[in-house]
């Protein structure tokens, strides 16, 4: 079966082409996207949900900070008193309270994680009124990524967004229902292990079935024992029983899986999902995918879209972005300073594009800021850890917001270390980069950024890295960082790789996770942008010290006009030449 046929099969089986979260889909769902009322400072306008406040596609001209009240009315015919109903919001920036028919359902804090509320007791067949009350600001103490923390866009920080920016929908379940599932590959025993959490009224006798459908359409059912007051189930099945084939960018093989929960032999809930079998691990100085050495050829992707800012006008825009990357010979994307939607990651899964998760930065730390970051990170871990295309976590970038890590005994250092431990504990199958770019102290991959102005300077840097030049690896000082920025040494120098020690240099992979930036960063290198990309990239590969590279960037964003494509996705250079460069 070819890849296109597999996509059609998966889409037909799980109705992925329409559901907002293909990794966790029920067939009985209703979209609430569309035209809502939006009130702000005594004014009211119509807004198109889920396009965020601050975007042209939203059709509102309000500023992106302050208090906002969304409202709409809807009917829900076919309401069943034996069912349970959940309201889902894909993402809403930043502090959110949801009310249905005058009653508060609850609160959520954070701009990137999905959240939901049980609306069973408040939902009527007709004339329901929902309100979503949102407050957002330019505070540097909230995770905001590249959204400006000043009044206006500046340097590499762009205009902000606020409010709902991912789909809103209602889903129907049974009184007992499936909450979450974790699928893991056990290569040692050659089995697939599934752990499923369920919820329901006390005393119910529950049984779980997992129906696995392979890419050829063959279905197999695996059943649990009956559990009294059961709240979790574990299933395992051998590779041989599902004709196991590994997921990779070249062969993005996906298996459909349907979780069917029975209560006293009556089917009460069905969740449809999928999984891909793949392993990612650090082995010495190499990154291994399915036991084979992996060389990353990535481009930086910031997740900004024409008219919709954080939200594409359609998923076809995302499909085109991924297709363009693959056509240019890239096998991955570093998703930068943004958590993308579940649908984005589904498209990476099915089209075969490796990617990263990267938590958006805050810029001034505090106790409440750390707490909010941890809570949202946990929510994202719970939602997104199932995607085979996502292969690593990046928690912080270039020390933004976590300046206190320079002191071993600081509260900030302890916080960052605890976040690394959290991800290792909750998602042990992916490596973690604690602070992308430099100044590492607790990382699985030693990544590095440079925007040096000539290829000769870059080659000199690689020689110093290869020879373990201590002046490059170690010797951090605050004054050195201040000098780096105040005297604009970005194109002539770099910051230190490690904070206190260079003991990891022979034991972990080295990844050049940002370079290039041609067209925005100053450069003295002769030739066209394509020629510069070719020279710098060949030198990276020839150095033999890296497990991969990430070019800045796929498309222009804001004032950063250094993309391979313009912001409206028009090629700025010969894409076949970029493919040949990556192929080399």
404: DSSP letter: G
Length of the chain measured in residues: 584
Average of per-residue pLDDT values in the chain: 92
pTM, full prediction: 0.94
User: What CATH architecture does domain 3-25+174-275 belong to?
Assistant: Sandwich (2.60)
Mean pLDDT score, 269-279: 95
The Cα–Cα gap between 72 and 129 comes to 6
Q: What pLDDT digit, counting tens, does each position of 391-450 carry?
A: 999 999 999 999 999 888 999 999 999 999 999 999 999 999 999 999 999 999 999 999
292 Cβ contact partners less than 8 Å away, ≥ 6 residues apart: none
Mean pLDDT score, 263-267: 86
563 Cβ contact partners less than 8 Å away, ≥ 6 residues apart: 519, 553, 554, 555, 556, 557, 572
Cα 50 from chain centroid (whole Å): 18
Strand order in the sheet with 232-238: 177-186, 191-199, 232-238
70, 139, 206, 374, 395 from 334: Cα distances, Å: 33, 25, 42, 22, 13
Which pLDDT band holds residue 24 (cuts at 50, 70, 90)?
very high
316 burial class (0-12, 13-18, 19+ CB within 10 angstroms)? Answer: exposed
Mean pLDDT score, 323-334: 97
Q: What pLDDT digit, counting tens, does each position of 59-86 carry?
A: 999 999 999 999 999 999 989 989 999 9
Q: What pLDDT digit, counting tens, does each position of 499-512 carry?
A: 887 666 678 999 99
Which pLDDT band holds residue 228 (cuts at 50, 70, 90)?
low
Q: Do the beta carbons of residue 199 and residue 176 sit within 8 Å?
A: yes
Range scoring the smallest mean pLDDT among 145-149, 234-238, 443-447, 475-479: 475-479
Per-domain residue ranges for the chain?
A: 3-25+174-275, 32-173
Partners of 490 in beta bridges: none
Taking Cα atoms as reference points, which of 221, 167, 175, 223 lies closest to residue 198? 175
3-state helix vs strand vs coil in the chain, percent to 5: 25, 35, 45
Ramachandran region, residue 203 (left: φ > 0; alpha: ψ -120 to 50; beta: rest): left
222 Cβ contact partners less than 8 Å away, ≥ 6 residues apart: 194, 209, 210, 211, 212, 235, 237
Range scoring the smallest mean pLDDT among 105-114, 352-361, 465-474: 465-474
More confident residue, 522 or 1: 522
Per-position DSSP letters for 244-285, written without gaps between them: --B--SSS---EEEEEEEEETTEEEEEEEEEE-B--EEEETT
The Cα–Cα gap between 399 and 21 comes to 32
Ramachandran region, residue 275 (left: φ > 0; alpha: ψ -120 to 50; beta: rest): beta
Q: Is the pLDDT of residue 325 over 90?
A: yes
> Quick one: fold of 32-173?
Jelly Rolls (2.60.120)
Whole-number pLDDT of residue 4? 35
Mean pLDDT score, 229-244: 86
Which pLDDT band holds residue 17 (cuts at 50, 70, 90)?
low
Number of Cβ within 10 Å of residue 422's Cβ equals 16
Q: Do the beta carbons of residue 133 and residue 106 sit within 8 Å?
A: no
Whole-number pLDDT of residue 504? 65
562 Cβ contact partners less than 8 Å away, ≥ 6 residues apart: 516, 517, 518, 519, 520, 521, 552, 553, 556
Range scoring the smallest mean pLDDT among 7-21, 41-55, 199-213: 7-21
103 Cβ contact partners less than 8 Å away, ≥ 6 residues apart: 122
Peptide bond into 553 cis (omega under 30): yes
Q: What pLDDT digit, counting tens, does each position of 361-380 carry?
A: 999 999 999 999 999 999 99
The Cα–Cα gap between 7 and 26 comes to 19
Q: What angle do CA 569, 3, 246 make, to 5 degrees?
A: 110
Crossing angle between the packed helical segments 315-327 and 342-351, to the nearest 10 degrees: 40
504 token code pair: 């990891």
Which pLDDT band holds residue 12 (cuts at 50, 70, 90)?
very low
359: DSSP letter: P
32-173 matches 3-25+174-275 in CATH topology: no
2 Cβ contact partners less than 8 Å away, ≥ 6 residues apart: none
The Cα–Cα gap between 188 and 145 comes to 39
Looking only at the bridges linking them, the beta strands covering 95-100 and 43-49 are unpaired
121 token code pair: 């007791």
CA dihedral 72, 75, 76, 78 (to 10 degrees): -170
Whole-number pLDDT of residue 481? 83
Share of the chain above pLDDT 90, in %: 79
Taking Cα atoms as reference points, which of 385, 403, 411, 395 lies closest to residue 445? 395
Mean pLDDT score, 507-522: 91
Mean pLDDT score, 551-567: 95
Mean pLDDT score, 555-566: 95
Which pLDDT band holds residue 192 (cuts at 50, 70, 90)?
very high
SS3 403: helix
Q: Is the pLDDT of residue 476 over 90?
A: no
SS3 string of 117-134? EECHHHCCCCCEEEEEEE
Whole-number pLDDT of residue 202? 61
More confident residue, 325 or 474: 325
Looking only at the bridges linking them, the beta strands covering 232-238 and 390-394 are unpaired
Which pLDDT band holds residue 13 (cuts at 50, 70, 90)?
very low
563 token code pair: 């993309």
Share of the chain above pLDDT 70, in %: 95
Mean pLDDT score, 272-283: 95
């Amino acid at each position: 079966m070819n890849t296109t046929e597999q996509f059609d099969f998966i889409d037909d089986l799980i109705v992925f082409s329409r559901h907002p979260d293909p990794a966790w889909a029920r067939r009985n769902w209703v979209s609430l996207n569309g035209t809502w009322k939006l009130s702000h400072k005594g004014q009211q306008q119509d807004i198109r949900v889920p396009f965020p406040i601050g975007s042209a596609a939203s059709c509102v001209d309000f500023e992106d900070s302050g208090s906002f009240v969304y409202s709409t009315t809807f009917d829900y015919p076919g309401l069943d008193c034996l069912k349970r109903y959940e309201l889902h919001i894909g993402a809403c920036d930043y502090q959110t309270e949801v009310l249905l028919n005058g009653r508060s359902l609850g609160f959520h804090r954070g701009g990137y994680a999905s959240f939901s509320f049980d609306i069973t007791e408040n939902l009527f067949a007709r004339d329901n009124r929902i309100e979503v009350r949102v407050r957002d600001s330019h505070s540097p103490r909230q995770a905001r990524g590249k959204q400006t923390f000043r009044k206006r866009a500046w340097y590499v920080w762009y205009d902000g967004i606020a409010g709902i920016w991912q789909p809103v929908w209602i889903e129907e379940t049974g009184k007992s229902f499936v909450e979450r599932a974790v699928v893991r590959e056990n290569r040692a025993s050659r089995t697939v292990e599934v752990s499923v959490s369920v919820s329901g009224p006390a005393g119910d006798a529950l049984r779980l079935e997992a129906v696995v459908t392979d890419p050829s359409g063959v279905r197999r059912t695996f059943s649990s024992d009956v559990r009294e007051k059961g709240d979790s189930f574990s299933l395992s099945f051998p590779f041989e029983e599902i004709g196991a084939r590994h997921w990779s960018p070249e062969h993005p093989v996906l298996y459909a899986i349907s979780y069917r929960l029975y209560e006293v032999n009556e089917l009460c809930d069905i969740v449809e999902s999928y999984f891909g079998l793949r392993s990612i691990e650090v082995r010495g100085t190499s990154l291994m995918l399915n036991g084979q050495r992996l060389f990353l050829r990535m481009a930086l992707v910031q997740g900004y879209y024409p008219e919709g800012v954080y939200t594409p006008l359609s998923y076809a825009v995302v499909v085109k972005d991924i297709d363009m990357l693959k056509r240019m010979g890239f096998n991955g994307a570093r998703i930068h300073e943004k958590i993308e939607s579940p649908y984005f990651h589904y498209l990476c899964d099915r089209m075969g594009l490796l990617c990263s998760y990267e938590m958006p930065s805050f810029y001034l730390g505090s106790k409440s800021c750390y707490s909010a970051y941890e809570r949202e990170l946990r929510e994202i871990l719970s939602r997104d850890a199932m995607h085979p295309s996502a292969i690593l976590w990046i928690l912080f970038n270039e020390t933004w917001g976590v300046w206190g890590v320079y002191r071993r005994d600081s509260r900030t250092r302890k916080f960052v270390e605890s976040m690394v431990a959290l991800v290792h504990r909750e998602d042990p199958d992916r490596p973690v980069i604690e602070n992308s770019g430099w100044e590492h102290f607790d990382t699985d991959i030693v990544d590095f950024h440079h925007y040096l102005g000539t290829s000769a300077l870059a080659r000199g840097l690689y020689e110093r890295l290869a020879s373990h030049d201590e002046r490059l690896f170690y010797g951090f000082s605050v004054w050195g960082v201040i000098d780096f920025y105040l005297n604009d040494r970005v194109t002539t120098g770099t910051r230190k790789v490690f904070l206190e020690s260079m003991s990891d240099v022979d034991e972990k992979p080295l990844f050049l996770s940002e370079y290039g930036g041609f067209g925005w960063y100053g450069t003295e290198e002769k030739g066209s942008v394509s020629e510069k990309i070719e020279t710098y990239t060949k030198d990276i590969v020839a150095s033999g010290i890296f497990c991969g590279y990430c070019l800045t960037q796929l498309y222009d964003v804001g004032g950063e006009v250094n993309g391979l494509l313009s912001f409206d996705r028009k090629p700025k250079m010969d894409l076949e030449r970029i493919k040949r460069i990556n192929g080399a």
